[in-house]
Every structure is written in structure tokens, then in C-alpha cells.
Amino acid sequence: KQEVTQIPAALSVPEGENLVLNCSFTDSAIYNLQWFRQDPGKGLTSLLLIQSSQREQTSGRLNASLDKSSGRSTLYIAASQPGDSATYLCAVTGNQFYFGTGTSLTVIP
């Protein structure tokens, strides 16, 4: 069964820092990998989707990479802002959709 792990579970950084969130998965037979943001008590906002044939995707200050062979993805956030504070979830699509354990990010003004 696919297992998706995110490290760290929680992260606190001062405003302006660049940061990296990690996601690892055990089965490399995936169709795609997606990063989501979830604010407290809210639903999911899709940030980036990387198809299995792609290596990275970029949107604004966000860059996500995918190394399928090693079972890893990273989400890079440049020049972090307090508004980036949220929980970030990665999810992989294999024979079904598998969510990671999440990273709770706090950006301190």
C-alpha cells in the first residue's frame, strides 16, 4: 500500500525566508503528485500538480519538484509571507489518491 510522508510535521520561520517542504512516497508507480494548501477549518486549495512525466512545476513564489524514481517531491516557497501560514498537504495518485501527513507552516511577521 502506498504510504506518503511529509517532513517536517511543523515548521516555523521568520517572514522573508525561503523554505522547503518535503514529501516522500513508497511506490513510484504514480500518475501525478499534487500539492495542496489547507487553512484552519477550511477545504483544500490546489497549488501545483506535477504529472509523472514532469520534473517540476512553478506558480508564482512556489516551485514543486518531483523525482519519481526516488519517491520524493519538494515544495519550495520563496520569500515567505505571513499569509503563507497554513497546512500543506501532498497527495499522489496511484491506483487511488493518497494524502500525505501534512506540514503545518507558520510564518512569523
Partner 1 sequence: GAVVSQHPSWVICKSGTSVKIECRSLDFQATTMFWYRQFPKQSLMLMATSNEGSKATYEQGVEKDKFLINHASLTLSTLTVTSAHPEDSSFYICSARAGQSVGYEQYFGPGTRLTVT
Minimum Å distance from CB 11 to partner 1?
Answer: 15
Of the residues 43, 60, 83, 109, which one makes contact with partner 1 according to CB under 8 A = 43
Binding residues for partner 1, rule CB under 8 A, total: 21
Of the residues 16, 42, 58, 59, which one makes contact with partner 1 according to CB under 8 A = 42
* Comparison of 54 and 93: residue with beta carbon closer to partner 1: 93
Residue in the block written with cell 503563507:
84
Of the residues 46, 59, 70, 106, which one makes contact with partner 1 according to CB under 8 A = 46
CB 34, CB 89: distance < 8 Å = no
Minimum Å distance from CB 85 to partner 1?
Answer: 15
CB-neighbour burial class of residue 89 (10 A; exposed 0-12, middle 13-18, buried 19+):
buried
List residues binding partner 1 (CB under 8 A).
31-32, 34, 36, 41-44, 46, 49, 89, 93-97, 99-102, 104
